[in-house]
Amino acid sequence: MLKKLKITGWKRIVLIGAFGMFVLMLIAATVLYFKISPELPSVESLKDVRFQVPLRVYASDGKLVAEFGEKKRIPVKIDGVPPLMVKAVLAAEDDRFYEHPGVDYQGLLRAVAVFVRTGEKAQGGSTITMQVARNFFLSSERTFTRKLSEILLSLRIEHELTKNEILELYLNKIYLGNRAYGVASAAKVYYGVEVNDLTLDQMAMIAGLPKAPSTFNPIVNPERALQRRNYVLRRLHELGAIDTATFDTAVKRPDTARLHTVTEEVDAPYAAEMARAVAVEMFGNEAYTDGYKVYTTIDSRLQPVASAVLRQAVIEYDERHGYRGAESRVTLARDSTMDDWEEALRDTSSAGALIPALVLSVGEQNATVYLGENRKITLDWAALSWARRYVSENALGVAPKSASEVLHVGDIVRVRQTAPNKWRLSQLPAIEGALVSISPADGAVKSIVGGFDFYRSKFNRVVQAQRQPGSSFKPFIYSAALDNGFTTATLVNDAPVVFDDPGLESTWRPENYTGKFYGPTRLREGLVNSRNLISIRVLQAIGIDTALRHVSKFGINAERLPRNLSLALGSGTVTPMDMVSGYAVFANGGYRVTPYIVQRIVGPDDKVVFVTTPTTVCSACEEPAVTDDSVAGRTAAAVREASKPEKIAPRVVSAQNIYLTVSMMKDVVKRGTGKQAMQPWCGWGLTTPNPWAMVSPERVQRCRCG
């Protein structure tokens, strides 16, 4: 028979007090619930969440050109994450995730116990579901109201979503340091691999980051990070996810984390900037966060060649005008160390293929320079002897006879690699250049280089710089002449002439480049040898207005061109893009196409949201209709009809005119002022680690270079 439990004295008082405290807390919680609950956001949005994914720009073949956006994130499905990675995250953050209803009372009781014992609101008690609620909907402030909101939201989330859906949100949303959000992005940032290629110790390192991404960051604090990684490995072992042998092996492995930037597979920064501007114009600032993918028309094979060609041409032109001396100079002590050398180069970055170098010693006809990262090279006399002192644009100093006339110890200079194990003194060019190539069939931009180095100058000279085209403008004038009674054999007098043109400031006495006059000359020879006086007389004969109307057919804005005879010598201002689109008419047989660089844009749901429909050359579309009504005839007609482009490029110049003009232009290269274009060029590979990786053995043999 049970005896009645008698509670008397102080025990009764304690029990009544505890019960009263419980009732008060229950009442407070109820009041807070009814106050907070209506203000809580709906968790429905989590079912269609869009992560902040950066804007990515690609070449036409899908190779990465650039990435824009503050947050690095690569969304991944839960079944795309290695099971051991999932277990590592659960071991570090919430090992009872699949057991609790979103709130782990054990963890909360531990947090309450800490508060009662210390009087401080300790971090703790948060499940993965609660972290999802906080990261998506709440702030990080540590208050009881926010904690209660977090608990209520967590219960709602667990009711609306499955455990795997919640975990997928967490694995993609969680911040892991160095602008990396989500485990897939962290794998790229810290180890440069896909999440499926992580080793166990690397998974543990990433899994340990959510608790404190700054404190346990393997880049900033490798010792604390290693301790945290080993803790995660130990938890995996305790939970039976890995055996003892696997644990022992993993815990002994050194950490290999380092900062990996986005690997750009194609060096086309000017193209990337043009594509970025298009995306932002269409989608606003959401372009940087909604995961848009812009596919450009850039050819990943041609782009590096274009960059190398442009840089080599600019460098060679600049060097022909002399050496302007060191960029700066530092004082080096005799006992200076590699740390001192690194410090001297710290604020000087590479530009294009030009690498900064510190002069360590100067010999009679050689010099030793330091390139950074424990690299020293010797510049021989062949690398230095070109450096005659720059005096003016048209004057050079005497040729140097010793290295000391060119370099001094402590100079910070530039060097470039010209062949395997061969280097040459160089300098930052004082001039700039631009290059663009397009497909004459539809105007697709295949390569574009807007300047020597995008990071020195973001001004895109292909589309922004208006310059005088000079003699390259003459084919348009000759084409206009052919449309107005001239033939390639028409004689034009190459003789002195004086013009008192009201459109010019003073009397004009033009001359040929050679300073000579050649008398009656056929039109073809006038273009082949770029005779200025013939071009002027041709323009005078057909009339300026007639010439401007013809030039506008090539897509060149006639309003920006002068209305005087200097037009024949290319004194107007055009952009390189104007010129390439004009020359495309010569290349495609007389059709005008519009240059474009964005091929298509793919939205965050991997659906195409924009496609460029280019004007495309279709010479077959001009053919007369076939009257053959046979089966074969009808089939051929159907094929031609199906192959017609959506937008047909208009014919602007006759086929006969184009044929004759191009014929004359070919002679310019074969035997005229453009003969140098027939020479093989040997400057490949300036933008690649191995300068000769892009050159076939046959090309090297033919060039006889280096």
Catalytic machinery residues = 93, 471
d(CA 382, CA 425): 9
Query: What region, left, alpha or beta, does residue 531 occupy, with left being phi > 0 and alpha being psi -120 to 50 degrees?
Result: beta
d(CA 448, CA 434): 8
Strand-pair partners of 377: 369
Does an H or E element contain 390, and which? strand 390-392
Q: Who's near 67: CB < 8 A, 6+ residues apart?
A: 54, 55, 56, 57, 262, 264
Helix count and strand count (H, E) for the chain: 22, 21
| Helix, strand, coil percent content, the chain, rounded in steps of 5 | 45, 15, 40
Q: Could you tell me which of 665, 649, 667 has the C-alpha nearest to residue 657?
A: 665
* 8 A C-beta contact, residue 356 and residue 348: yes
d(CA 221, CA 300): 39
Q: Could you tell me which of 303, 322, 274, 302 has the C-alpha nearest to residue 431?
A: 322
Question: Strand ranges (DSSP E) for 256-387?
Answer: 293-296, 328-329, 355-362, 367-372, 375-379
Backbone φ, ψ for residue 601 (5° rounding): -125, 130
* 8 A C-beta contact, residue 131 and residue 210: yes
Strand-pair partners of 448: 436
Strand-pair partners of 366: none
Residue type, 504: L
* 8 A C-beta contact, residue 180 and residue 189: yes
d(CA 578, CA 465): 11
Task: Please name the residue that has the structure tokens 């055996």.
Answer: 243
Backbone φ, ψ for residue 246 (5° rounding): -65, -40
